A and B are shown apart, each in its own frame.
Chain A
Amino acid sequence: MTEYLVQASNLRKSFGNTHAVNDVSLQIPAGEIYGLVGSDGAGKTTTMRLLVGALLPDGGEVSVCGYNVLKQTEQARSTIGYLSQRFSMYEDLTVLENIRFFAEVRGLSSTEWLPRSLEILEFVGLEKFKDRRAGQLSGGMKQKLGLASALVTRPRLLLLDEPTTGVDPVTRQDFWQLVIKLVAASPSQSGQGEGGVSVIISTPYMDEASRCHRVGFMKNGQIIAEDTPSNLRKRLNGRVVELRGAPLDVLRQSARADADVEDVQAFGDRLHLRVADGKADTVLKRLKKEIVNAGGHVDELRSVPPGLEDVFIALSDHEYASTF
């Protein structure tokens, strides 16, 4: 039996004339890292705030860990850890004092909070810094303190709203290793089924989306596609071709002129072409000749595994012109 930690159906929330969340349904099983992926204003944060009960939906139902968020708000919240985009910490308190504060606000007794805090600080790698003032932490360490504060109540569901915005790749990599470990170490992943932790993480970045078990692409308040990263990529299997050569203008024009090329995307030193289903081989043969005839040369022309970025663009292609 799959245990679902989040069951939300047909959630709606409008602010004035803006349909921030427009008919969103989510089912998140225990042990899953789910990515809400989309631009600013797509509805990611509003969705999260509906899940934690910080906002009342205009319509729809939501339950977390079996508790109805609208009717059993306190019980539901006690199962949730939430790291918001602008989470606050007390800069003149130490790391440990900050966690204690969050723990006590959430009702942890004095015998509980200390051993648990120390355990979590060790998990996020901040144990050596427990007596340092939060204001003196680096950006990456502050972020880990935020994560530790969200984890001190041992939530089953962890909501992370763009946790790595403005964070460099090395720090981001560390943070992700922690999140994945947290989920991987929880019981459902070790085959016991019950008690697993789930994470919902929002991001506009495809490199982060690709680390999730499942992603939902959000646009204009709706989830326009939802699947595992590998299944999403499969939708374009064999249809993305990488082209390198010179001059770029000739490459672009030749590619655009090819009847089986649906889309041409410049990526710095190369082009990505999306070709019609089953036409990759034809295009590979034909295009090379065309480019040479047009006075260009080709360094590399090959099928590449599609990226999530290719998929997202293909999904929203028909509305491309109007989306910016």
Chain B
Amino acid sequence: MSLPVIYVENLTRRFGDFVAVDHINFEVNEGEVVGYLGPNGSGKTTTIRMLLGLLMPSEGEATVLGYDVVRQSEEVRARVGYMSQKFAIYDDLTTLENLTFYGGVYGITDKKRIIETLELVGLTGHEHTLTRDLSTGWRQRLSLGIALVHKPKLLFLDEPTSGVDPTARRAFWDLIYELAASGVTILVTTHYMDEAEYCERVGVMRDGKLLAMDTPTNLKKSIITGNVWEVFAHPLEQGLDVLQELEGVDRVGLAGDHLRVISSQIQQETMQKLLSKNNIQVERIERGEPTLEDVFLALAR
């Protein structure tokens, strides 16, 4: 059994009285694609900064690719890639020029490796396009290429596919899965459920604590123990008020043209009767599927 690529034990970081990361524990194995979710200020970035050896832990320990993040942080950084939405690509340079420039930053001067990387992210044929003329999806591929040029064994992705449609997102993820299959380990931080659904395991952070980490399927099964109902009724707002008061409802919210109700006890007829009694017209009530967003909201409240 090989060592985990990321090993985190009781990792903690305080800023004064504020505990940004609070005794978290997790492991990520080679070739895994793991998502890291949490609201702003929940400790996601602080965790990543400690894993990159940019910030000292107050307590606990972590190893990345077998290197201690405190004592061997340079070894760590030489072997990881980082792709962020806020990353600067030079708009008035071509794809090839950008990649060559950033390759140089990592000490990669081998032209062959640059060409190979362009090929890997599917940018062959676009070498001489100015990056300002690239669509968002292509720019994201270039950012990925820049993060990959030094052949990292571990890749951190920060909202890698924000702002693209499902076809472009899918093409990007197919690339990520190929990398994972070749042994690269991937940790994705994101706010977006559309992205989290692509991860093999997902961790949820809140207030510095890692509340859960499991496969999307297991999270949905273990956190959302109730049934999901989609209630189409008029008027919607009054329907919300009525169901909010109903005992045994775990959560109810407005979802566009219907109400989304999560409850393990309430039956369809109970809702139907109660709404009708309150002069709310019920069009239909259907069973829904739990989503990662339901999981997130259940954990985060």
What residues of chain A have their CB less than 8 Å away from a CB belonging to chain B?
33, 37-42, 138-139, 165-173, 176-177, 180-181, 184-185, 189-191, 204-207, 210-213, 219, 228-229, 244, 249, 265-270, 300, 304-305, 309, 312-313, 316, 320, 323-324
Contacts and interface: CB of A to CB of B under 8 A. Distances in A.
A244 B237 CA distance: 38
A209 to B, nearest CB: 9
Contacts of B199: 268
Contacts of B216: 267-270
Contacts of A229: 256
Contact of B167 (A139, A166, A324): A324
B139 to A, nearest CB: 9
A323 B191 contact: no
Nearest to A138: B40
A82 B236 CA distance: 25
B301 A170 contact: yes
Which of B163, B201, B234 counts the most chain A CB atoms within 10 A?
B163
The main secondary structure of chain A at its interface with chain B is mixed
A184 B136 contact: no
B188 to A, nearest CB: 10
A206 B293 CA distance: 12
B136 A41 contact: yes
Given A39-B137, A207-B193, A324-B138, A184 B254 contact: yes
A184 B167 contact: no
Contacts of B33: 268
Contact of B256 (A206, A210, A309, A312): A210
A169 B136 contact: no
B168 A212 contact: no
Contacts, number: 149
B67 interface: no
A184 B198 contact: no
The main secondary structure of chain B at its interface with chain A is mixed
A267 to B, nearest CB: 5
A207 B291 contact: yes
Contact of B236 (A39, A180, A210, A228): A180
B166 A206 contact: yes
A177 B234 CA distance: 16
Given A210-B256, A211-B256, A169 B293 contact: yes
B75 interface: no
Given A205-B194, A228-B257, A309 B166 contact: yes
Nearest to B295: A169
Nearest to B259: A180
A269 B215 contact: yes
Given A189-B236, A204-B163, A324-B137, A269 B201 contact: yes
